[in-house]
């Protein structure tokens, strides 16, 4: 006996998945469930956006959340360590390119667990908000309405703006608006966080000061502060921050700060 179909929108809250949801509704496509997994690390403007979106579409969004918070996993959780030298440390600390534990534990595993239960009863059709100009992210057997509609990332943002959704200006600052504390962000994005969100940056510094693994392989949060301030200083003198001279001077500035700490 075949299972009843259940049509689910996988909503990240960003421009692509928001555009997908709005157009699916506009085209009267079947939607049984709108699913958002809350990592607890979204920009405050994102939570405002989700409330506005619910009001606009007149439907509830189902929120999922991991059993524990990011801070618990970051500072307290004691996993089995593959490296015995790390057994003395508490928490997972910062994720990295080869250990994106935060994505796994706060998002993908949470969603997978929820879907596993749904699939016992339903044939789940998941609408996935990947834009037409992101072919490397498309997998076989997925349902990608934005690809079907040939909507690029820019198209999605323009579409959302036209519907009155602006995320409190987040996309005027950042290229992507996922977890604000991700160490895998480009330096350009972290610089914007430093300049525009001092409260979030202060939290980032507190976390980095409290843990055993540096925020990034190349810089701690405090060293990023030194770098960004030094970039402004260097640029004010009309000098290029892309030069070898800048990096040599920056290295010296950071070493001086370590010695004086």
Average pLDDT along the chain: 95
Q: What's the distance, CA 11 to chain centroid?
A: 13
Distance of CA 32 to the CA centre of its chain: 25
**201-211 pLDDT tens trace:** 999 999 999 99
Quick one: 1-182 is in which CATH superfamily? HUPs (3.40.50.620)
Distance, CA of 15 to CA of 20 (rounded, Å)? 9
Provide the pLDDT for residue 258: 87
Q: Is the pLDDT of residue 86 over 90?
A: no
Q: Which of 31, 109, 124, 34 is nearest to 65 (CA)?
A: 109
User: What residue ranges do the domains of the chain occupy?
Assistant: 1-182, 185-261
User: Phi/psi at 6 (nearest 5 deg)?
Assistant: -130, 120
Q: CB neighbours of 213 closer than 8 A, spacing ≥ 6?
A: 93, 94
Region label for 29, one of left (φ > 0), alpha (ψ between -120 and 50) or beta (otherwise): beta
The token pair that represents 156 in the structure block: 């999605």
Reported as a single tens digit per residue, the pLDDT across 180-238 is 999 999 999 999 999 999 999 999 999 999 999 999 999 999 999 999 999 999 999 99
Provide, rounded to the nearest whole percent, the portion of the chain with pLDDT above 90: 87
Centre a 10 Å sphere on the Cβ of residue 246 and count the other Cβ atoms it contains.
17
Question: What pLDDT, in 10s, does the model give residues 30-55?
Answer: 999 999 999 999 999 999 999 999 99
């Amino acid at each position: 006996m075949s299972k009843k179909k259940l049509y689910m929108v996988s909503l990240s809250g960003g421009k692509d998945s928001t555009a997908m949801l709005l157009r699916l509704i506009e085209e009267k496509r079947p939607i049984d469930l709108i699913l958002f997994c809350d990592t607890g690390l979204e920009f405050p403007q994102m939570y405002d956006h989700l409330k506005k979106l619910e009001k606009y579409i007149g439907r509830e969004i189902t929120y999922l959340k991991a059993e524990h918070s990011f801070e618990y996993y970051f500072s307290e959780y004691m996993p089995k360590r593959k490296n015995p030298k790390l057994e003395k440390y508490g928490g997972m600390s910062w994720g990295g390119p080869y250990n994106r534990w935060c994505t796994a534990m706060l998002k993908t595993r949470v969603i997978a667990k929820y879907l596993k239960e749904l699939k016992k009863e339903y044939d789940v059709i998941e609408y996935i908000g990947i834009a037409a100009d992101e072919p490397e992210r498309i997998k076989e057997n997925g349902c990608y309405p934005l690809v079907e509609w040939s909507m690029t990332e820019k198209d999605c943002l323009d579409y959302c703006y036209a519907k009155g959704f602006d995320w409190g200006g987040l996309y005027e600052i950042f290229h992507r608006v996922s977890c604000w504390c991700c160490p895998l962000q480009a330096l350009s994005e972290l610089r914007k966080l430093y300049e525009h969100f001092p409260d979030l940056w202060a939290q980032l510094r507190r976390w980095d000061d409290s843990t055993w693994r540096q925020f990034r392989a190349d810089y701690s949060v405090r060293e990023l502060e030194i770098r960004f301030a030094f970039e402004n200083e260097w640029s004010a003198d009309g000098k290029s921050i892309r030069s070898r001279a800048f990096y040599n001077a920056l290295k010296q500035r950071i070493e001086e700060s370590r010695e004086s700490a």
